[in-house]
A and B are shown apart, each in its own frame.
Chain A
Amino acid sequence: MYTYEHSVLLDESKCTGCTTCLKHCPTEAIRIKGGRAVINPKRCIDCGECIRVCPHKAKKAVCGKLSDMERFKWKIALPAPSLYGQFDNLEEIDYVLDGLLKIGFDDVFEVSKAAELVTAYTRTYLKLDVVKKPAISSACPVISRLISLRFPSLSEHIIHMLPPMEVAAKLAKDKALADHPELKPEEIGVCFISPCPAKASYVKNGFASYKSCVDEVVSINDIYFLLIGKMKKSDDVPQLSESGRIGIGWARSGGEATAIFNDDYLAADGIDNVIRVLDQLENGNIPPVEFIELNACAGGCVGGVLTIQNPFIARARLQTLRRYLPVSKNQVSKEDSEYIPEHYLFDDLPEYMPISRLSDSIAKSMRMLADIHSFKDTLPGIDCGSCGSPTCRAFAEDVIKGLAEVDGCPIKALREIKEGRDA
């Protein structure tokens, strides 16, 4: 049974059945059926493009609520570094962290702090003989899922370092237990403040056999107004931030890669660009690089669909915020960095699911594919989406698979009526 739980949902009352999401979905996971968009969960990679483009705000991300944290006695916020780029004239990260405490969290643990530690160990990781180059970052969950679904031959390039969110969750829980011996592990809850729905999916579903340590995921736009109301700029705000330029830099495309201090890297952002890079990588047509950072959102995590601010503005603000920070506030000594602790690594990748396979038998699939091609040739080829499939090719596929009616193309029907009249 298919049990993957997604974080992108449709509000049927708002969906008009327009074809905007249909045309933008990078994995062709959407069809319009009965005047409503339907997402095929097996194809969806939680990239959030449909949420971004929907003109009727009918696509929603399913995240947790702050109130869901009430079940924990000790509540810890894990702010994503992209959160810091959402505020005007922010001089100190501490104002944000103090605000999080004021909206009800007992402690904060910055994901950017964990990111600096992940960076330090990634430098070690990349020197290991077993690592297949170019190594591909595992930080963006959309990319990991995309590779496992569509580029299985590249799976072995993904580094087995856990994303900073997970490392932050573990370290935050350990710290809480050490600081407060009276707490039981189950009384401690960590809540990731997320720029995107993909992180929520990662937390719900885990990653292959890995189970997430994060308890709740709340979106940046959900807490934004509450938070901004509690933030104040003053000198008596406690000094809480333990992030340097590297940690904050992870919020934007290229931040993770440049932090490794190796110029042989490639960073691509925006899902369509990423797919092109992966296609080229699969063809062996990429200059020799050591490390590849890929982000589904344009601009990197600051471009997440659950953020408030335009990614370029957010990025510019982070630039200002980073200016007077040290490179990193979380150095790992040379000796310590030689061995990567177990809790920074994961074991296995999701299994390849041949979702686009037409049938279980190659012979049958070949016949079906031949039928798809010949049927496609009878279609107008303008990829208008009126039939409910994203392209004429996709429609032909749906018809041959029995998922769409053979007379579902209105343009073709119109043409036939006209020809009949003219004849």
Chain B
Amino acid sequence: MQEHLIFRFDVDGEDFTSAGQASVHVKKNLRQIGIDPETIRRVSIAMYEGEINMVIHAGGGVAEVHVYDEYIEIILDDRGPGISDIDKAMQEGYSTASDNIRSLGFGAGMGLPNMKKNTDKLDIFSTVGVGTKIVMRVNYKN
């Protein structure tokens, strides 16, 4: 296995206001490595949407960013309710978020589609009642 960097964040499911902090932190680190701005932007969007998803749907979880030579992998792991119909969840505008969450301006059903749009590869592993793991990959030119 090649040498690579890992950043790990605990995403607090209780705290709406801190959602987004991990993505700010990752941005800073990627800038220091010298990753190009467009890649940073894509990682940051995917990461942010993932964080928000974990807060809204899963009561938090763990986010990891792995930086390899030619791609960046974002792994989001939670012990939430799981996704019963992944195809449906991928549709723009589809959301299972509660009215309460929607009234806060979240749950527009754009999270997963946005993550897909800003990554080169997205895999969802989910078991209802157990949790969800999302693995995203963003390629970049070294």
Q: Which residues of chain A have a CB within 8 Å of any CB of chain B? A: 150, 152-153, 279-280, 282-285, 287, 352, 354, 356-363, 365-367, 369-370, 397
Chain B residues with CB below 8 A from A283, complex form: 20, 23, 44-45, 48
Instruction: Please report the C-alpha to C-alpha distance between residue A210 and residue B114 in the assembled complex, in whole angstroms.
Output: 37
A285 to B21: give the CA distance in the assembly, Å. 13
Given contacts A279-B27, A285-B52, A369-B32, 18 further A-B contacts (CB under 8 A): A152-B37, A153-B40, A282-B44, A283-B20, A284-B49, A357-B31, A357-B34, A359-B34, A362-B33, A362-B34, A362-B69, A365-B32, A365-B34, A366-B4, A366-B33, A367-B3, A369-B5, A369-B33
Residues of B within 8 A of A (CB): 3-5, 20, 23-24, 27-29, 31-35, 37-38, 40-41, 44-45, 48-49, 52, 67, 69, 105, 114, 142
For B35, what are the chain A residues with a Cβ–Cβ distance below 8 Å? 362
Q: Is the CB of A284 within 8 A of B48?
A: yes
Bound: A354/B34 CA distance, A:
7
How many angstroms from the CA of A354 to the CA of B69 in the assembled complex? 19
Q: Please indicate the chain B residues that have their CB under 8 angstroms from the CB of A279 in the complex.
A: 20, 24, 27
Cβ contacts under 8 Å, A365 to chain B: 32-34
Q: Which of B20, B24, B31, B69 contacts A363 (CB 8 A)?
A: B69
- A413 to B5 alpha-carbon distance, docked (Å): 29
- Specify which of A150, A279, A366 lies most central, judged by the most chain B CB atoms within 10 Å of its CB: A366
Tell me how far the C-beta of B1 lies from the nearest C-beta in chain A, rounded to whole angstroms: 14
Give 15 pairs: A residue, B residue, CB < 8 Å, sorted on A.
Answer: A153-B37, A153-B38, A280-B20, A284-B48, A284-B114, A285-B48, A356-B31, A357-B34, A358-B32, A358-B34, A359-B34, A360-B34, A362-B69, A369-B33, A397-B32
Neighbouring B residues of A366 by C-beta, 8 Å:
3-5, 33, 67
Chain A, residue nearest B34 (CB): A357
Q: Inside 8 A of B52's CB, which chain A residues have their CB?
A: 285
Task: Using CB atoms, name the residue of chain A closest to B37.
Answer: A152
Residues of chain A within 8 A of B142, CB atoms compared: 362-363
CA gap between A150 and B37 in the complex, in Å = 9
Q: How far is the CB of B95 from chain A (nearest CB, A)?
A: 16
Contacts of A360 in B (CB 8 A): 34
Q: Which residues of A contact B114 (CB under 8 A)?
A: 284
Q: Which of A282, A287, A361 contacts B105 (CB 8 A)?
A: A287
Q: How far does the alpha carbon of A354 sit from the alpha carbon of B37 in the complex, in Å?
A: 9
CB distance from B36 to the nearest CB of A (A): 9
CB-CB under 8 A for A356 and B28, given A283-B45, A362-B34: yes
Residues of A close to B32: CB separation below 8 A: 356-358, 365, 369, 397
Most buried by A among B44, B69, B105: B44
Provide the residues of chain A in CB contact with B105, threshold 8 Å.
287
Asked whether, in the complex, the Cβ of A357 is within 8 Å of the Cβ of B33, the reply is yes
Chain B residues with CB below 8 A from A152, complex form? 37
Q: Which residues of B contact A367 (CB under 8 A)?
A: 3
| Distance between Cα atoms of A394 and B34 in the complex (Å) | 17
CB distance from B86 to the nearest CB of A (A): 22
Q: Given the complex, which residues of B lie within 8 Å of A359, measured CB to CB?
A: 34
Q: A282 with B41: in contact, given A356-B28, A362-B142 (CB under 8 Å)?
A: yes
> B40: which A residues are within 8 A, CB to CB?
153
CB distance from A147 to the nearest CB of B (A): 11
Q: In the bound complex, what is the Cα–Cα distance between A153 and B69 (angstroms)?
A: 22
Q: CA–CA, A279 to B28, complex, Å? A: 11
**Other-chain residue from B5, B34, B41, B49 in contact with A153 (beta carbon distance below 8 A):** B41
Q: A357-B33, A362-B142, A369-B5 are in contact. Are A285 and B28 (CB under 8 A)?
A: no
Smallest Cβ-Cβ distance to A275: which chain B residue: B24
A319 nearest CB across to chain B (Å) = 32
Q: How many angstroms from the CA of A113 to the CA of B46 in the assembled complex?
A: 44
Task: Determine if B48 and A369 form an interchain contact, defined as CB atoms under 8 angstroms apart.
Answer: no
Interfacial chain B residues near A352, Cβ < 8 Å: 37
